[in-house]
Chains A and B, each alone.
Chain A
């Protein structure tokens, strides 16, 4: 609302109405005084072409007084404009109108505003110092009535507007409208508004109004309400140069969608009191009670002229997070992982705003649980105290009893945090992960032009690979995951790791490097890294997978590994026997599984003949390579191709020895995995 329309504050419009009313009365007094002359010539016709005022303008105003002794009064206004709103064809007719020196009465009048016809009664009594105006619609099934009564003594006056089943849409159409205007489709008003004042100024007002069946919307439907009932109770009094006011709005029924929020009326209540002074509205004490969520106390100071919020304070205790999440947080987080998160618990908020800036925000969480609908993360019994100040450092903490991240369970954790403007830090935190832990040091997050960035140094204390792979629902592995993380960083939506992550696996050592992960909680997480494993014990490996026994040691190098949605789409992998002196044996079952896996693998006819005779075979070297591109694995073996175009996977040695050669260079990777899965699960490979 523009300041020049705040009539109670500026008084221009009221002043104008008062003057108009006075002049209108003077005009009629002149008419009355001249009545004998009028009676002699039973017609008075007076036309004003233009009446202009900064607030309103009237064109073609005609006043007619016809006939005697019971004259008819007719007032026709061709066009009335107030602000941007214009009405055409306003017509007032009183037949008859009784006019004498003390009074003017109209008991059977009609008022026409455009297409709308109303019956009208008015009485003006100078003796009783009273003016009464009563308007009802012409076809009045709803028993609609608007009654204005004004009484005055000397310079003091008081008025009461009483509304019974008032058509609110008509009133709303009178209000100034913008281009993106909200249309009121229906509203029914009941109640009264009382005003009192001195001369042209208002000194007090009170309103007890009920608005029912309110429906409104803008053209797009993104701001709309339906079936709304509201109860308004407000008082205001002028004390010297300022106004003191109090008000209460109760919303028991109906629904509102205000993009992106949706609320239904369940007894929400807003109460406030304050002052209006020096072009400022001051809410000294306010309370907003959102049914089902909780209540917030607030105060604020707003400038009327520039429509600015100059300072504000809000404090809320024990807000129900489940309701708050559904109605406010989730709609604001549609593009984040929180969009499909259910929450429970309580929340405290303290917020201070001053000088066009947020000064302080303190968020407290009590026994909160967060659960992602897709099972990507969950937190239980989360308690937090997170203070933030625009100018000073603050210390807070986060504590949770247990959690899970992409299926990996996390134990009870305490995280101290520091805030400094838009910079957040965690000096040190230990997070139990399965049977080990993750140590985070020097965590710093800050808001940059490209978005949030963070980084930390870390350490992984031994975590069981068996438990980890079980949690991730992937092929089981044995060993431990541990090592230092020199620097983990997140910027431009990509998480990267500097240095090497070293972990023990199957009695060997694995090294991960050049790790980059984007969208870890999205539908399409991307992971790229290089990985190498040294001195892996084949005995432990094959026993873990029930693949048939192999003894020996291998080194594996996987370069340019790329996982999309945790599935490999690209890598260059090489597996070769480790250097050194160790036992090199392969069981009959393992050989059969290898043959089954490869499809095109072959052993010599002589070897086939005694394959069933021995349980164990000796070998000198194992070699396998795979360049995965999409779903196709381009395979190779030990050294260059054999004379018949194959590639040697196992080079036999000793007695009995076995050599296995592959011939299929291109293998469908998902099919290979399926065969491996089948071989591991059944222990009975499919022989091709």
Chain B
């Protein structure tokens, strides 16, 4: 009887945990007009950023943004436009995290969404691109 009760309790607990896990799962693919617009914008910009990822001029930061990490890899006349590209991309990325959190009806999830995206960006980065490790140092993939 005691064992059955314990087993029942464990099943209930497991069920609650599973439910809680399901209930709090973030829908990263939330598809609101804002998310669609931002993704479209970022997709269009990505082609312009790739050469700078390849050269190591631009790297992926641990907080889900990008940064001009080695301006010396860009000709002087191009550094200003890379700056603008980086600023525009970061503006969109910040908006994307905020919009996905809003689409999930949990604005307070923005931080977690950002962290998850940071890992996703790094995981999907091409070989040779630079990313920031947890301790802040830069690593070439």
**B-binding residues in A (CB < 8 A):** 217, 220-222, 224-226, 255-257, 259-262, 264, 330-331, 334-335, 339, 522-524, 526, 564-567, 569, 630-631
Contact = CB atoms under 8 A, between A and B. Distances in A.
A523 B32 contact: no
B141 interface: no
Given A334-B84, A523-B37, A523-B92, 18 more contacts: A220-B72, A224-B76, A255-B77, A257-B71, A257-B79, A259-B71, A260-B80, A262-B77, A262-B80, A264-B77, A330-B84, A339-B88, A524-B38, A565-B33, A569-B32, A569-B33, A630-B31, A630-B103
B76 A564 contact: no
Contact of A335 (B74, B87, B99): B87
A524 B83 contact: no
6 shortest A-B CB distances, which residue pairs?
A: A221-B71, A221-B72, A524-B34, A567-B33, A334-B87, A565-B33
Given A339-B88, A524-B34, A256 B76 contact: yes
Given A523-B95, A524-B99, A565-B33, A259 B83 contact: yes
A62 to B, nearest CB: 43
B116 interface: no
Nearest to B71: A221
B34 A221 contact: no
A228 to B, nearest CB: 10
Interface in B71-107: 71-74, 76-77, 79-80, 83-84, 87-88, 91-92, 95, 99, 103
A262 B84 CA distance: 12
Given A523-B38, A564-B33, A565-B33, A260 B83 contact: yes
Q: Which secondary structure dominates chain B's binding surface? A: helix
B70 interface: yes
Interface of B: 31-34, 36-38, 41, 68, 70-74, 76-77, 79-80, 83-84, 87-88, 91-92, 95, 99, 103
27 contacts: A220-B71, A221-B70, A221-B72, A222-B79, A224-B71, A224-B72, A257-B71, A259-B79, A260-B80, A261-B80, A262-B77, A262-B79, A330-B84, A331-B83, A334-B83, A334-B87, A335-B91, A522-B95, A523-B37, A523-B92, A523-B95, A524-B34, A564-B34, A565-B36, A566-B33, A569-B33, A630-B103
Contacts of A259: 71, 79, 83
Nearest to A219: B72
A526 B35 CA distance: 12
Nearest to A567: B33
Contacts of A334: 83-84, 87-88
A181 to B, nearest CB: 15
Contacts of B76: 224-226, 255-257, 262
A646 B38 CA distance: 39
A262 B83 CA distance: 11
Contacts of B99: 524, 564
Contacts of A564: 32-34, 99
User: Which of B31, B32, B41 has most A Cβ within 10 Å?
Assistant: B32
Nearest to A568: B33
Contacts of B103: 630
A527 to B, nearest CB: 11
A461 to B, nearest CB: 32
A381 to B, nearest CB: 28
A257 B34 contact: no
Nearest to A223: B71
B105 to A, nearest CB: 10
B18 to A, nearest CB: 25
Contacts of B68: 222
B37 A339 contact: no
A566 B74 CA distance: 38
Nearest to A630: B32
Given A220-B71, A339-B88, A631-B31, A565 B37 contact: yes
A264 B87 CA distance: 23
B136 to A, nearest CB: 15
A261 B95 CA distance: 26
Contacts of B36: 565
A339 B84 contact: yes
A393 B47 CA distance: 50
A331 B80 contact: yes
Contacts of B32: 564, 569, 630
Contacts of B38: 523-524
User: Which of A217, A255, A523, A630 has most B Cβ within 10 Å?
Assistant: A523
B116 to A, nearest CB: 20
Contact of A523 (B41, B73, B80): B41
A221 to B, nearest CB: 3
A524 B95 contact: yes
A524 B103 CA distance: 13
Contacts of B79: 221-222, 257, 259, 262
A602 to B, nearest CB: 31
B85 to A, nearest CB: 10
B72 A524 contact: no
Contacts of A255: 76-77
B27 to A, nearest CB: 10
A330 B80 CA distance: 10
A264 B77 CA distance: 8
Nearest to B95: A524
A522 B80 CA distance: 22
A255 B34 CA distance: 40
A213 to B, nearest CB: 14
Contacts of A222: 68, 71, 79
Contacts of A565: 33-34, 36-37
A260 B32 CA distance: 34
A262 B87 CA distance: 16
Nearest to B42: A523
Nearest to A227: B76
Contacts of B73: 221
Contacts of B70: 220-221
Contacts of B37: 523-524, 565
Contacts of B80: 257, 260-262, 331
B139 to A, nearest CB: 18
B11 to A, nearest CB: 33
Contacts of A221: 70-74, 79
A526 B103 CA distance: 12
Contacts of A631: 31
A255 B87 CA distance: 23
User: Which of A261, A335, A522, A524 has most B Cβ within 10 Å?
Assistant: A524
Contacts of A569: 32-33
Nearest to B72: A221
A224 B76 CA distance: 8
Contacts of B72: 217, 220-221, 224
Nearest to B92: A523
Contacts of A224: 71-72, 76
Contacts of A264: 77
B67 to A, nearest CB: 11
A257 B71 CA distance: 10
Nearest to A569: B32
Contacts of A256: 76
A564 B68 CA distance: 31
A266 to B, nearest CB: 13
Nearest to B40: A523
A257 B33 CA distance: 38
A422 B40 CA distance: 39
